[in-house]
Amino acid sequence: MGCSGSKEAVDETNHADIKTNVAAPGGANVASERTTTHSGYHSDVASGAKHAFTEQLVTNNIHKIQEVYDLTHSTTLGRGACGSVSTCMHKATSMMYAMKTVSIEGMAAHSMAELRQEIAVQKMLDHPNIVKVFETFEDTANRELHIIMEMCTGGALVSRMKSHRHGYGEKAAATLMEKSLSATMYCHKHGVVHRDIKLDNFIYENEDEMAELKLIDFGFASFVAPGKESMWDQIGTPSYMAPELWSDRAKEYDSSVDMWALGVVCYMLLSGKRPFHHQDRKEKARMICHDPLRFPSPDWDRISDTAKDFCSTISP
């Protein structure tokens, strides 16, 4: 959240062959030639989706953050190119939250608008498998934007995959996919296409093995309306990008790109490997666009035909 610039996400997933208890503050193989539509999925953007972000824009809190949250014992949870994430305590309730701090020093107007749009997207979504954003504070003196979110301490799904290098069992993978699908379909129902679904963008609420899974990072999200959901930006994380996103020229696509990405997630959860992987970007693109989906031995010998069919259907 809060990065401007390049519209291609970094593919940090490395399986080569291998951002909190919530309460608002204050209370079978496929054909070898891939097409640009996914036969197993049709757009599910609901008629009840909003038509403009203007109805959902986040209003900055007029208070200084120090007036509402105690930052004296704040602990850093992580740092990245887009800012830092630390803990904070709501003074009135003593509840702990995550605070993402993004520098807006020198940020171009369009980048600031994109940041506000991203926050607006996440603030309007209310689902058990999506990290909740509650409020924002703009520090004009230090040129920083503070984003208050539910705090999740269990780490990313991609990190837990390191202890499941050959994939999860089908039962565990099915549970994770149910949560991932639920979050994604909820977004689509509300007119939000995530466009960067990947293992890295699902985190756990806490360190418990059965902790709730949460979708994060709406930096590439697009807000669309029923019948008007055409998108053209060629963005995403390479290993999870659908064929239509690899065209030499910008090509029209819709919310089905999220379902393709979920198919990649499912494949990796079951096998520990990416379905199409190559260090060379052009070769990876060729594989995604033209190669059939394969289930090679020995990784897939233990996987049922039903699970394989699911992968083929969701990401044909």
Identify the helix (H) or strand (E) that includes residue 222: strand 222-223
Q: Which two tokens stand for residue 104?
A: 């807006």
Asked, as a colleague might, if the bond just before 238 is cis with ω within 30 of 0, I would say no
Identify the helix (H) or strand (E) that includes residue 311: helix 305-314
For the chain, how far is it from start to end, CA to CA, in angstroms? Answer: 30
**Angle CA 50–215–244, to nearest 5:** 70
**Strands 192-193 and 222-223, sheet pairing:** antiparallel
Which of these, 215, 217, 235, 303, lies nearest to 28 by C-alpha position?
303
Q: Which two tokens stand for residue 252?
A: 């029209």
DSSP 63-123: S-HHHHEE-TT--EEEEETTEEEEEEEETTT--EEEEEEEE-TT--HHHHHHHHHHHHHHH
CA atoms within 13 A on the CB side of 255: 26
Q: Which two tokens stand for residue 10?
A: 């970094």
> Active-site residue among 17, 70, 139, 196?
196
Q: Which two tokens stand for residue 129?
A: 């498998």
Q: Which two tokens stand for residue 60?
A: 């900055």
- 3-state secondary structure string across 238-286: HHHCCHHHHCCCCCCECCHHHHHHHHHHHHHHHHCCCCCCCCCHHHHHH
Give yes or no: 11 in active site: no
**Beta partners for residue 8, in sequence order:** 236
Known catalytic residues? 196
